[in-house]
Amino acid sequence: MRSLADFEHYINDFYVDEKSLLARAFGPQPECHIFVAECSDGIIGYAVGLVIPFTYDLKNTLVLKEFFVDSGYRGQGVGSALFRHVVAWALTEGGGRLKWDVLAGNQKAETFYKKHGGCPDSKWIPYVMDEVALNAAAGLNSEVKSQVKKISSE
């Protein structure tokens, strides 16, 4: 995971440690599904999947949150095998779709995903709010906040 954080330039914001990962991924209420590719050298690739329960079509949306293969093992079929496991999992979870993001400019990743049937989704533009923006947005209008609480409690 640190290798991916380094590759995607968020290593300074990376806080995952073994204890937290074990609790959140393998505890009594797992928050994600983790797939690993390993060999005699240890773990050489991993994927993290999330399930978003059904919406409009009564099928789950599966999110490939992270997918990484060590650079020394790329081009050897490791990524393809790992990706096939993720796809099989998506189907067993009742998935109607699998979604993921690709780091802008990562042409190798785009080529890999297209080879496996993925395609860019031009209907959506990804948005994000960091913690500062979340705190600012939550406090913008306390009147709206109290109305939302009132609606949800009725």
- Summarised one tens digit per residue, pLDDT across range 4-15 is 888 788 888 888
Q: What predicted TM-score, i.e. pTM, was given to this entire model? A: 0.79
Does residue 135 form part of some domain? no
Q: Which domain holds residue 69?
A: 2-124
Does residue 140 form part of some domain? no
> How many folded domains does the chain comprise?
1
Does residue 22 form part of some domain? yes
Does residue 87 form part of some domain? yes
The full DSSP string for the chain is -HHHHHHTT-GGG----HHHHHHHHHSSS-SSEEEEEEETTEEEEEEEEEEE---TTS-EEEEEEEEEE-GGGTTTTHHHHHHHHHHHHHHHTTEEEEEE---TT-HHHHHHHHHTT----TT-------HHHHHHHHTS-HHHHHHHHHHHH-
Does residue 79 form part of some domain? yes
The pLDDT confidence band at residue 147, using thresholds 50, 70 and 90, is: low
| Domain of residue 65, CATH code | 3.40.630.30
Does residue 152 form part of some domain? no
Q: Once rounded to an integer, what is the mean pLDDT over residues 21-47?
A: 91
Does residue 137 form part of some domain? no
Q: Once rounded to an integer, what is the mean pLDDT over residues 49-75?
A: 94
Does residue 57 form part of some domain? yes
